[in-house]
Amino acid sequence: MMLADHAQVADGKLFIAGGGWSLAGPGPIPCGIALLFHVPWQQTNERTAFMLRLLDEDGRPFPGTGEPGGPSVEAGGQIEAGRPAGMAPGSDINVPVAFNTVLQLPPGRRFTWVLEINGRTDDAWRVSFATREAPPGAF
């Protein structure tokens, strides 16, 4: 999983612009999330559900409206990797996925995108970033 200014999938590949950042803002933040799932051979031809959730520094879902109790910032879907003709048995199959949004987040805070796969998560399936402090005189 990688943060980028923009991420796109084309021809089964990820195209990433401005990738690898961990500090952004203040102000509107273009946020692309590039995911590359490595599906084991024995799990091909099975549907896998995934969900990305944006959490604040306290581990709570961040409301997209900025209002407590508002709908959280999240994206998800399902993948299903097929076995391409000619692929050596036992090979992992890569499935690229990309999401793009513009975030309006408060300055001077930390956030984490957390990936869940079939309702499970892992510490390795997280990517964190911070927002810069607002310049003096800004509100």
Q: Between the CA of residue 8 and those of 66, 107, 131, what are the distances in Å?
A: 27, 27, 24
Q: Does the residue 139 lie in any domain?
A: no
Tokens 């051979």 correspond to what residue? 41
Is 137 part of any domain? no
Instruction: Kindly report, residue by residue over 11-37, the tens digit of the pLDDT.
Output: 999 999 999 999 999 889 999 999 999
Residue 138 lies inside a defined structural domain of this protein: no
Range of the domain at 76: 2-131
Residue 98 located in a structural domain:
yes
Distance CA 82, CA 46 (A): 8
Q: Is residue 136 part of a domain?
A: no
Question: What is the C-alpha to C-alpha distance for residues 17 and 32, in angstroms, rounded to an integer?
Answer: 9
Q: In which band, very low, low, confident or very high, does the pLDDT at 135 lie, cut at 50, 70 and 90?
A: confident
Domain count, the chain: 1
**Contact call for residues 73 and 51 (beta carbons, < 8 A):** no
Q: Write down the pLDDT at residue 53.
A: 96
Where residue 51 sits, what CATH number does that domain have? 2.60.40.2550
Say whether pLDDT at 128 is over 80.
yes
Average pLDDT of 58-83?
A: 85
Position 58 in a domain:
yes
Predicted TM-score (pTM) of this structure: 0.89
Q: Is 77 exposed, middle or buried (0-12, 13-18, 19+ CB in 10 A)?
A: exposed
CA distances from 72 to 38, 62, 75 (A): 27, 5, 10
